[in-house]
Structure formats: C-alpha cells, structure tokens
Amino acid sequence: MPRREGFKAIWFLTPSLVGFALFYIIPFLMGIYESFTDGSLGGTFVGFDNYKEILSSSSFRKASANTLLFTSISVPLLIGLSLLLALLLNKSMYLRNWLRSSFILPLVVPVASIVMFWQILFDWNGTLNAWLHHFHYGRADWMQSNGSMSIIVLMYIWKNIGYNMILFLAGLQSIPKDYYETAQIEGASRPRQLIHITLVYLTPTMFFVVLISIINSFKVFRETYLLAGDYPYDRIYMMQHYMNNMFFTLDIQKLTSAATLMVVCIIILVMGLLSFERRFRDNFE
C-alpha cells in the first residue's frame, strides 16, 4: 500500500519535475559546460581559462565586492529589525492586526510600483531634494553617490521585513507558554527569558530566515536595474549587473562562468548554515 501511494505521488509530481528539469536543471548544466569552452557553438574545451579571465577582471571583482558588501549589511539589519518587530507584535498591543497587515503590504506590491516610489523619493527632482531645497540645503544626486548603497539596503529591508516578521511570529507562537511561566516563578528576568528561552527555541526559525534573506539579497537586481539602469553608480554595480551586461554582449563564456561561481558560493554558504543548524539541533537535543 505505501508503495502504491508512492507511485501515485511520483505520477502527480512528474509534470513539475519535467518542467523543472527542462527549464532549470538542463540549462544550468549546459551553462556549466559552456563555461569550460571558448565558444557557444562548436567550442573547444579550455579548462579554467574563462574562470581565470573573469577573476582577473576589475568589473567582476567590483561586482563581487559590492554584492558581498550589500549582503553583509542588509541581511543582519533585516534579521534584527524583523525579529524586533515580531517580538513587539507578539504581545497584546493596540492596532496589532493592522500593523501586521501594513508590514505585509510591500510583498504584494509590484516591483515597478516599488521602484517608482523610491524614484519619486530620491530622484534629483524628487521629494527628498524638494524638502532639502525648501529648508535651503543643496540638492543631492542620491543614486550617483556612495549613499546609493544605503538606498538599495533600505529598499531591500522595506520589501522583505514583513515576510521575515511573519516567519518569526510563527516561531514565537510555537514556543510553549509554560516555559515562560516556569521562568517567571523561578525569578528569571525578561532579558534572561529572551536569551535562554526565546532565542534558543527560535534558533531553527532563525536559520531558515537567514537562509531566505541571503537568497533574497541576490534577487535585488530587479529593483536596482529599474532604479539605476544597467550601468549604475560603481557602489551599486552588483554581480547580476555584470552577468546581465555579459548577456547583452553575448559573452556567454563569462556569463556562465560568473553564474557558476555565484551558485557554488551560494551552495557552500547554504551547506555551511545547514550543517551548523544540524549540529546545534543535535547538541540541543
């Protein structure tokens, strides 16, 4: 009987598996192969020459450094703020349901509308510069300055904070209330309960949220591209910009090599997080 149910499950999953293989797995494997050749059609095998070339490229190094900087700044800020909001909204407070809904709204807003909002706010003739001019301060070209990274970080946090907050709320509500009641009876303070109960039992959720946040940080290209174009200011020239420009110039070898390196880095990071989470769970049990 279990085998029969397993065959039924495979039968229903087959269309999705075939589509995933055709549009994701097979093209990705073909891309890996292309990264070791010197041409898209009938190219010869050149080993790691393409990888050596992009690693020596100043554009690739700049894009890699900016992407790493963006992820290292935005992800910790997003985790901290979403956890703080979840802790606040997990308590009984005025307009709690309304606040929860307001933080979820950016998830359902189209990307083009989000970019339009930020353009209106930070454009040369935008709202922020109009306020500065009103108070007799000079206008600033925000997207052509080192502050452009801060704008992208703010946009990323604003768009993703609601999703992370919901995940943290689900994790907080799964912690048994008996633990807090026992801690209060034993005289444990609020900070002690937060560290030894809340954060400990929230750790599995924390690992998942960190993983999702890192993956989402690599998907900020759409917003940056629509906001600043295909060749933005140096500070916000991301890895996806580099690959997008290689695609437009039909430099498939550099494109596939850069994509392969990025995927390898993400896989190593994900495996490291999962290994650390597994080790923590074993020690906790």
pTM reported for the whole predicted model: 0.83
pLDDT at 200: 81
Task: Give residue-wise pLDDT tens across range 45-68.
Answer: 888 888 998 989 888 899 899 989
Q: How far apart are CA 244 and CA 238, in angstroms?
A: 10
Backbone angles phi, psi at 37, to 5 degrees: -120, 170
Q: How far apart are CA 64 and CA 67, in angstroms?
A: 5
For residue 207, give the nearest of 281, 135, 131 by alpha carbon: 281
Note whether 196 and 188 are within 8 A (CB). yes
- Domains in the chain with CATH codes: 52-284 (1.10.3720.10)
Q: How far apart are CA 270 and CA 129, in angstroms?
A: 41
pLDDT at 78: 94
Helix (H) or strand (E) holding 119: helix 111-122
* C-alpha 92: how far from chain center: 30
Q: What is the pLDDT along the chain (285 residues), one digit of tens a residue?
A: 566 777 777 888 888 888 888 888 888 888 888 888 887 666 788 888 889 989 898 888 998 999 899 999 999 999 999 999 888 888 776 666 667 677 777 777 777 777 888 888 887 777 888 888 778 787 777 787 878 888 889 888 988 888 898 899 888 888 888 888 888 888 878 888 888 888 888 888 888 899 889 888 888 877 787 777 777 888 888 888 888 888 888 888 888 888 888 888 888 888 888 888 788 777 765
Structure tokens at 47: 């080993």
pLDDT at 118: 81
Task: Give residue-wise pLDDT tens across range 186-234.
Answer: 887 888 888 888 888 888 888 889 988 988 888 887 778 777 777 788 8
